[in-house]
Structure 1
């Protein structure tokens, strides 16, 4: 595995900084007790580890009160809590045509079960939105707009701040899926008028899988997705009203969150601006090189436009899954192929019948690894031209 070229950071970042594994091992060895479930020193230390992670996440995202951030298993868990906890019967929700199934499926579930109204704002082939279409979509019963910050197929960066202003002017809440932007793009929930932010721990924040979180503005009320023990207000039959306990039923992933804390600290030390600058440079080089190969089509924003480190492409006369298999087996290059859990985006760019090969850059990607992918695609393409 040491020789593998890992270009699947949009799914999970790898490798992880050593400090993350060290923090997780230290937690297991020294304080792997239940946070908030006791007053003994190990439980207190576990609680402190969780709160420190909340504070660092709050610093990264411009959150005033760290307790407005609750931990989740992943972005999908956080999005389900936000959507199902907020949207009610008779309400109208707007989302985009480049959303992940983690947004689309909960919304379609609510449309089927309680009859919510749902509007999809279509994007162009670059994954970009026309805000005039959004403006026309608002209704008197619109309660929520859900959008990703960056498409997990195209890398397109959506205008979250502008949408936030439009929502705030109309009294509509904004939920942002930061699966591809947390730790990679600057996010400030107050400045961008974000009411809820769902984020993963295992991608741009460099933490372990099974971690993530949801920020919920203090003026937004949600019904808990899960009910159970919290260690607070235990005498009550109802779920606690205090945050973050209201949204954190059951024992938390203390070990994973301890690792996530180190990932966030790493991002804070490097800064998201520098991380994005490094990834963007490699992304542009990869796009330009792939565009120069006969039979290869690169999807998403044009060369030179701002985007995250995702480069999806097609090779003429080939199946995307076959290309990914060849890259893995013959070249030791790990990429993702298929539909990337976002069929709406594939429909928008005309690849619903073929899927696409997705290479994604991470902070630890080396220039020579990008070159290796280019050389491999050249060889594969020459065989199918």
Structure 2
């Protein structure tokens, strides 16, 4: 019997059956390396990869499929831009909502080069960035890049990215969007948000296997990125340098064909089901979950003054109890899988004041979560809170 799974913010589960079948089929009958093997095997892998690019571009509102490069995960995509774009003396503006996939690369780059990093804080009561604060930071000093999460992986709050993009561009900066918590979960159009770089995972809301990531680059901006990895691409092999065109600039070495076969199937499933419908379901279940938990006197939900629908995340604590103990009880006594801790976002908890509790318990429904799952989870938390 499968557990009651509420950790879709970490990775989606279960996957659509078609995704599992596609991975299994490739592992059993697929052969040949993408762009390298002659004949029908290469044609098959080429078709799968290019169809997946087309579907990703359609689902995420990317201008053209050739603007999509496949990576290993969202962290990889973010690093490719941060390491490829930033130079000594550059100034970066980011936020205290960010994941360590942004914070740690910036920290490392600060140690390697003269890099100025400014942090815009969020309102702990609402979980939102104030665009006025971003505007002030942009006007304070010449800035080159703004790096923002689309939705917090702790709070689920969706940030005003279109407005942030406008402010960044007016100040002469580019913007890199971490869409790990929205791609596949919420309607997302890169062109409408007007971001320059979009990074996301293939295994979360996009429902593909782990080891798959997506990086989209606005037209002509690849010329401003140094390749962070170089090697064989199966094309332009006569060149001594890495190809400077998309997507080959970022796709060195053999591609993860089992993973991309799974993502190929996942994108077809998403197109058929519809991201708008998925978002409606997840928003409804998340709202119910949060509202029910708030009726329990011993529970603190974050943020306290939520003003919007979230991307499908509920963070809470049982007052006076370490969040990891609560998660362990949910798992061992009730068969509910969730996550507890800092969620790789320490600055969020520093602002929330939840470091002493070890962070928060995070519940994140997905496309296969049922109304009964929500009911059982609320009842389990109610029993745990009463016991403490």
Contact 1:284 1:303 in 2 (8 A): no
1:258 and 2:261 correspond: yes
Matched residue, 2:317 = 314
SS in 2 for 1:142: coil
SS in 2 for 1:165: helix
1:376 and 2:377 correspond: no
1:91-143 deviations in whole A, cap 9, x for unaligned?
10001110000001111111121021011100011221111110010155311
Taking the aligned partners of 1:60 and 1:4, their CA distance within structure 2 comes to 30
Taking the aligned partners of 1:358 and 1:35, their CA distance within structure 2 comes to 39
Taking the aligned partners of 1:349 and 1:60, their CA distance within structure 2 comes to 34
Contact 2:71 2:213 in 1 (8 A): yes
Q: Shift in Å at residue 303 of structure 1?
A: 5.5
Unaligned runs of 5+ in 1: none
Matched residue, 1:28 = 27
Matched residue, 2:300 = 297
Could you say what the CA RMSD is over the residues aligned between the two structures, in angstroms?
1.3
Does 90-99 or 186-195 show the bigger shift? 186-195
Matched residue, 1:129 = 129
Contact 1:34 1:251 in 2 (8 A): yes
Taking the aligned partners of 2:213 and 2:285, their CA distance within structure 1 comes to 27
1:347 and 2:350 correspond: yes
Q: Shift in Å at residue 301 of structure 1?
A: 6.2
Change in 2 beyond 3 A, CA 1:301/1:34: farther
Taking the aligned partners of 2:115 and 2:203, their CA distance within structure 1 comes to 32
Structure 2 matches for 1:1-385, cutoff 5 A? 2-125=1-124, 126-138=126-138, 139-220=140-221, 221-300=224-303, 302=305, 305-354=308-357, 355-384=359-388
Taking the aligned partners of 1:372 and 1:196, their CA distance within structure 2 comes to 40
Taking the aligned partners of 2:229 and 2:185, their CA distance within structure 1 comes to 30
Change in 2 beyond 3 A, CA 1:304/1:142: closer
Normalized against structure 1, the TM-score is what? 0.97
Q: Shift in Å at residue 197 of structure 1?
A: 0.4
Q: Shift in Å at residue 43 of structure 1?
A: 1.2
Does 356-365 or 64-73 show the bigger shift? 64-73
Contact 1:127 1:348 in 2 (8 A): no
Contact 1:336 1:359 in 2 (8 A): yes
Taking the aligned partners of 1:84 and 1:245, their CA distance within structure 2 comes to 17
SS in 1 for 2:144: strand
Aligned length: 383
Unaligned runs of 5+ in 2: none
Contact 1:32 1:254 in 2 (8 A): no
1:14-43 deviations in whole A, cap 9, x for unaligned?
001111111122222333321011331101
Q: Shift in Å at residue 304 of structure 1?
A: 6.4
Contact 1:75 1:179 in 2 (8 A): yes
Change in 2 beyond 3 A, CA 1:47/1:301: farther
Does 346-355 or 148-157 show the bigger shift? 346-355
Contact 1:37 1:231 in 2 (8 A): yes
Q: Shift in Å at residue 373 of structure 1?
A: 1.0
Taking the aligned partners of 1:377 and 1:190, their CA distance within structure 2 comes to 41
Taking the aligned partners of 1:304 and 1:129, their CA distance within structure 2 comes to 12
SS in 1 for 2:88: coil
SS in 2 for 1:215: strand
